[in-house]
């Protein structure tokens, strides 16, 4: 009998309960499922590629036929390289469909032998997205019912570090520097410092 290997590509920044739900469903219909994390250098992810990979490895450790890998470049080329015959994508709502259809048809044009299979996560996850999870976490909202406990913990750590870094930087520019001459304290505003942390300036080459 033919064995079907599939890839489940995505950004997973961070992995959510919806992603896990789909991995669970995919692992039942495919013989082998590779969760393929995109390392898009143009996007500035909250979690590094290595962090996302590590989280997904821990979250999928109990699935015998699921593995985690990273890729960059064209997804169809990656699929070909690992010998996958199918691509798994989740559709949460009609609003996902248009983009997913366009991507699936373009991928078919690029690689006609590769089939895209759409699956629906449980409806309780239909409103869930990594982008919203990041936003809620950064604004101090409750994320425990949206992501697995491990991811909630990592999000809290990441955000605590960012807040501490931002507060320390703001304090150090508002307080007179130990080495600065008396009366010449920096007058840079904390908000400006925070903005420069959030949006690092591009390095001139
Ligand atoms: O989780 P996401 O961000 O919705 O996943 C999007 C992803 C990674 C599946 C898509 O951006 C992708 O396949 N990128 C790799 C580059 C590529 O093949 N682009 C052509 C798509 S038709």
CA distances from 99 to 66, 68, 85, 103, 111 (A): 26, 25, 21, 6, 18
**Which residue among 6, 9, 12, 13 has the greatest number of ligand 1 atoms within 8 angstroms of its CB, and so is best to mutate?**
9
More confident residue, 115 or 188: 115
Mean of pLDDT values over 104-130:
97
Can you give the residue ranges of every domain in the chain?
Answer: 5-128, 155-198
Atom 2 of ligand 1: nearest residue by CA position? 10
Atom 11 of ligand 1: nearest residue by CA position? 10
3-state secondary structure of 14: coil
| 18 CA distance to ligand 1 middle (Å) | 17
Q: Quick one: fold of 5-128?
A: Rossmann fold (3.40.50)
pLDDT in tens, 145-165: 999 999 999 999 998 877 766
d(CA 4, CA 29): 9
d(CA 62, CA 65): 9
| 10 CA distance to ligand 1 middle (Å) | 6
More confident residue, 70 or 189: 70
- Label residue 94 by pLDDT band (50, 70, 90): very high
- Label residue 170 by pLDDT band (50, 70, 90): confident
Q: What is the per-residue pLDDT for 175?
A: 65
Predicted confidence (pLDDT) at residue 121 exceeds the cutoff of 80? yes
Predicted confidence (pLDDT) at residue 115 exceeds the cutoff of 60? yes
Q: Is 91 in the pocket of ligand 1 (CB under 6 A)?
A: no
- In whole numbers, what is the pLDDT of the chain averaged over residues? 86
Predicted confidence (pLDDT) at residue 178 exceeds the cutoff of 60? no
Q: Tell whether omega for the bond before 180 is within 30 degrees of 0, i.e. cis.
A: no
| 177 CA distance to ligand 1 middle (Å) | 47
Single out the catalytic residue among 52, 53, 89, 92: 92
Predicted confidence (pLDDT) at residue 189 exceeds the cutoff of 60? no
Mean of pLDDT values over 106-127:
97
Predicted confidence (pLDDT) at residue 5 exceeds the cutoff of 90? yes
Single out the catalytic residue among 52, 53, 89, 130: 130
Atom 7 of ligand 1: nearest residue by CA position? 10
Ligand 1 closest atom vs CA 71: 15
Rounded to two decimals, the pTM is 0.83
Q: Is 10 in the pocket of ligand 1 (CB under 6 A)?
A: yes
């Amino acid at each position: 009998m033919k064995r079907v290997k599939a890839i489940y590509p995505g950004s997973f920044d961070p992995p959510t309960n919806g992603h896990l739900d789909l991995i669970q469903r995919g692992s039942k219909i495919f013989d082998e499922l590779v969760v393929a994390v995109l390392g898009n250098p143009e996007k500035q992810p909250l979690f590094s590629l290595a962090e996302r990979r590590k989280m997904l490895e821990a979250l999928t450790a109990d699935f015998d036929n699921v593995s985690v890998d990273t890729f960059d470049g064209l997804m169809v080329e990656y699929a070909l390289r690992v010998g996958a015959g199918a691509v798994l994508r989740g559709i949460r709502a009609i609003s996902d469909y248009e983009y997913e259809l366009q991507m699936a048809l373009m991928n078919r044009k690029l690689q006609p032998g590769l089939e895209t299979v759409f699956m629906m996560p449980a409806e309780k996850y239909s409103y869930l997205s990594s982008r919203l999870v990041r936003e809620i976490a950064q604004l101090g909202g409750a994320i425990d019912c949206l992501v697995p406990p491990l991811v909630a913990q990592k999000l809290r750590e990441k955000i605590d570090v960012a807040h501490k870094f931002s507060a320390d930087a703001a304090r150090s520019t508002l307080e007179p520097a130990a080495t600065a001459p008396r009366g010449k304290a920096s007058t840079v505003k904390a908000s400006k410092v925070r903005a420069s942390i959030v949006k690092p300036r591009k390095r001139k080459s």
